[in-house]
Amino acid sequence: MAKTLFEKVWESHVVGTLANGQAQLLIDTHLVHEVTSPQAFGMLRDLNLKVAYPHRTFATVDHIVPTDSQVSPFSDPLAEAMIQELNKNARDFGITYFSLSSGKQGIVHVVGPEQGITQPGTTIACGDSHTATHGAFGAIAFGIGTTQVRDILATQTMALSKMKVRRINVDGQLRPGVYSKDVALHIIRLLGANGGIGYAYEYGGSTFDAFTMEERMTVCNMSIEGGARCGYVNPDEKTFEYLKGRHYSPKGAEWEATVAKWRAVASDADVVYDDVVNIRAEDVPPTVTWGTSPDQAISVTENVPTPESATTEPGRVSIQEALDYMKLPAGQPIKGTKIDVAFIGSCTNGRLSDFREVAKFIKGKKVAAGVKAIAVPGSQIVDGLARQEGLHEIFEAAGFEWRAAGCSMCLAMNPDKLIGDQLCASSSNRNFKGRQGSTTGRTVLMSPVMVAAAALTGSIADARDVFTIAG
């Protein structure tokens, strides 16, 4: 019987069935960071338990770490305490730790792939919503809560209900000035923030075949924003080429044998999915959010919706509430909306390819007066490679602050925060109320190149016009 990758991985990792019908699932790889792990390690100590398989757990610091200065002790005593706690836990329990002094620290979903820890056909869990990022490699990757972090540390398993599988095909060639981030936002707009509940998303089609691994990571990263439990792409030659030679990847004769297994885990050609969605690549526009949920998105050339455009009363209320918070008049063009802050970074778009692409367009140009623009690499390795290529100099010459690696303005757990009702053009993944640190701060999600266009013009702009991207 033909099977999806999800079914193959699920069936090979179920170690038992609980009384409530959930599966007890073996987790191959466990990623931890400084925010959701302290309580879990504390629970192990309270129960006098050890980490069952410490070689399967990898830790780094990312959420709370400052990006302007990473000299310890940090000015924020809570941040200093949480990082020291992770230092202690990694030492006491014998887990691999990519500390600030390692040269390998960074956002957990950037570090995993670049170290070769993320591999096809495996199960991966992390106490972070955007763990689905690792699905770009044909892994089944779940974001989990602190009690599940504890369970995996103690048993290397977690309880989970099986999902259905929705295949999302994107076929054709994206228009110039349209990026993988636009594809992610377009899918979420089309299917809704809750459209994926109960599903794993399998992404495919000729567009995904053509995507780089980093582009695939961007889309998989945002699966959770569409309600899906995880998202993945079947592994192919690009996957294997990316992983070859990385620190934790198989070596020598083991490499070829492992690649054969990775090929076999891909979904069978004649499999029947629970649902199929087909999207034409040429229909995907440069997309930006206008509201307080990632599905509240429009083309940069569209107008902000009106409450009257909703087909239901709850929909009308939702639009009005979002407009009130965002301080946007109903029906006005989104293009031209003034911004205060521009942020390029996060586990969605903080990789080397993101900075390379932006650098092409901002070289020799200047950030608009009054705009605070920051660029934050996703890892120390990304930072180092960017510096080797002189990308940081291009950004700094244009008026961006080039920061140290971390989550930064993706979320309000470090000093990089909005003030008052500032509006931020952001390459991150969530535009929730207060997401970037201020209870009245406003976030508009878009691709890194669109963020750059906003930074240079001082307002939300169509990058195709700003940078003369023809097509």
Q: Mind listing the pLDDT tens digit for each residue in 226-268?
A: 999 999 999 999 999 999 999 999 999 999 999 999 999 999 9
Instruction: Find the mean pLDDT for residues 1-29.
Output: 97
Instruction: Find the mean pLDDT for residues 15-29.
Output: 97
| Domain 5-264: homologous superfamily in CATH | Aconitase, domain 3 (3.30.499.10)
5-264 and 286-466 agree in CATH topology? yes
Q: What percentage of residues in the chain have a pLDDT greater than 90?
A: 97
Helix (H) or strand (E) holding 318: helix 313-326
pLDDT of residue 412: 87
Average pLDDT, the chain: 97
Instruction: Find the mean pLDDT for residues 106-115.
Output: 98
Instruction: Find the mean pLDDT for residues 93-99.
Output: 97
* Strands of the sheet with 423-426, listed across from one edge: 400-402, 372-375, 341-344, 423-426, 442-445
pLDDT of residue 471: 64
pLDDT of residue 373: 98
**For the segment 156-201, what is each residue's pLDDT rounded down to a tens digit?**
999 999 999 999 999 999 999 999 999 999 999 999 999 999 999 9
**For the segment 287-316, what is each residue's pLDDT rounded down to a tens digit?**
999 999 999 999 999 999 999 999 999 999
Are 347 and 339 a contacting pair, CB within 8 Å?
Answer: no
Domain locations in the chain as residue ranges:
5-264, 286-466
Which pLDDT band holds residue 45 (cuts at 50, 70, 90)? very high
Tokens of 169: 């095909």
DSSP assigned state of 363? T
Q: What percentage of residues in the chain have a pLDDT greater than 70?
A: 100
**For the segment 48-83, what is each residue's pLDDT rounded down to a tens digit?**
999 999 999 999 999 999 999 888 888 888 889 999
pLDDT of residue 36: 92
Task: Say how far apart CA 114 and CA 122 lie, in whole Å.
Answer: 16
Q: Is the pTM of this model over 0.95?
A: yes
Q: Look up the CATH number of domain 286-466.
A: 3.30.499.10
Strand ranges, E, within 18-72: 23-26, 29-32, 57-60
CA distances from residue 292 to 189, 193, 349 in whole angstroms, order as listed: 13, 11, 20
